[in-house]
Amino acid sequence: MIQNNYQGARQHPIETGFNAQSTAAHVIKGIDLSHTIAIVTGGNTGIGLETTQILANAGATVIVPARDIEKAKKNLQGIANIEIEPMDIMIPSSIDAFAEKFLSSKRPLHLLINNAGIMWVPLRRDERGIESQLATNYIGQFHLTARLWPALKQANGARVVNVSSLGHHMSPFHFDDPNFEHRNYETLQAYGQSKTASNLFTVELDNRAKEYQVRAYAVHPGSIAGTELAREAPVELFQKMGFLDEKGNIRAEVLASLKTIPQGAATTVWAATSLHLQGIGGVYCEDGDIAELIPANPDTPSLATPHKNGVQKYSLDESGAKRLWMLTEEMTGIPFPVE
């Protein structure tokens, strides 16, 4: 019996009946989350807000850490079972303070949804010198999960869902220069690298944590209309990527391929709650199912090959996952022994 997903050993669709059109409300139908405690980062906007509302509606108590408390209160107004706490995923001391407050409540943590993320931003660094997309999209996931580990273990059955992206196809992880100190900064490469890191973290976390009844999943939400991810992106970048025409208008075929926010939150909610995943962890999911594994290119096994879906094998590599774990502990000074 295969117990881990290194090299994509368990990366096979399981025919759930869900697809790209399924919504978060659809995939959670019939599931009762009473007595469930969840944390959703980025849970007051976009697909994070939808995730928060769906989990709360199913009976979960949902804690939403937010950088802008007033904005969070406004966006979450009227949703029952919500707690809002201050946290900035780019500031290590802020993550520590949030985690310490939660741990002091002595509550178990059944669901940790690492949803917060950024994209299409210029070169920035956090106070440790870590490039901002890597810091937000991956390092923040590692840091928060490490600090909340006692509560996850206490749950005697918890799930960690790391929101990744098809964007991991854009770049493997560059161990020699993760922070663009010796190469030119390219925002999409930085984004791709951060999402590959999230996948590697997921497969390694699951392998280490499963003996404590904690399972981990990476999810690709899809390309979503109506989120705030593109707020800093220049028009020229979208034109270069083929999303916009020469007049700056979104192309019809691109518009037709976009998911709604309820559809975009579906795979996150499915990974967090589905009975289909009992006994399975460390997998990358999309469209309410486990995604297909993309075979490595034998000529260039370490390079990304773009596809419309599926997971790149290099982002599930055992040696890369273990190496990244050790590197992250060194970069952050945060030991995460999982014990």
**334 falls within a domain:** no
Q: Residue 23 contacts by C-beta under 8 Å, 6 or more apart in sequence?
A: 260, 262, 263, 265, 266
- Residue 1 maps to a domain: no
109-158 pLDDT tens trace: 999 999 999 988 999 999 999 999 999 999 999 999 999 999 999 999 99
Q: What are phi and psi of 222, to 5 degrees?
A: 105, 175
The predicted model gives 10-15 an average pLDDT of 96
Mean pLDDT for the chain overall: 91
Domain containing residue 204: 6-328
Give tens-digit pLDDT for 21-37.
999 999 999 999 999 99
Is the full-model pTM beyond 0.85?
A: yes
Distances (CA, A) of 332 to 65, 112, 130, 327: 21, 20, 9, 9
Task: Indicate whether 90 pLDDT > 80.
Answer: yes
User: Does residue 300 lie within any of the structural domains?
Assistant: yes
Q: What is the pLDDT of residue 301?
A: 46
Name the residue among 236, 271, 252, 5 with its Cα closest to residue 113: 271
Residue from 87, 153, 150, 77 nearest 115 by CA:
87
Identify any residues that bridge with 66 across adjacent strands, giving them in sequence order. 86
Active site residues: 191
Band the pLDDT of 251: cuts 50, 70, 90: low
Using DSSP's 3-state secondary structure scheme, residue 256 falls into helix
Domains: count for the chain: 1
Asked if residue 322 belongs to a domain, the reply is yes
Residue 333 dihedral angles phi and psi, to the nearest 5°? 75, 20
Helix (H) or strand (E) holding 311: strand 311-312
Task: Let me know if residue 335 belongs to a domain.
Answer: no
Higher pLDDT, 248 or 40: 40
Residue 101 lies in a domain: yes
Question: What is the pLDDT, as a whole number, of residue 255?
Answer: 63
Backbone Cα Rg of the chain: 19
Whether 336 has a pLDDT exceeding 50, the answer reads: yes
Q: Is the pLDDT of residue 206 over 70?
A: yes
Cβ atoms of 89 and 116 closer than 8 Å:
yes
**Domain annotation covers residue 339:** no
33 inside domain: yes
pLDDT band at 2 (very low <50, low <70, confident <90, very high): low
Per-residue pLDDT at 229 exceeds 60: no
Q: Domain holding 102: CATH number?
A: 3.40.50.720
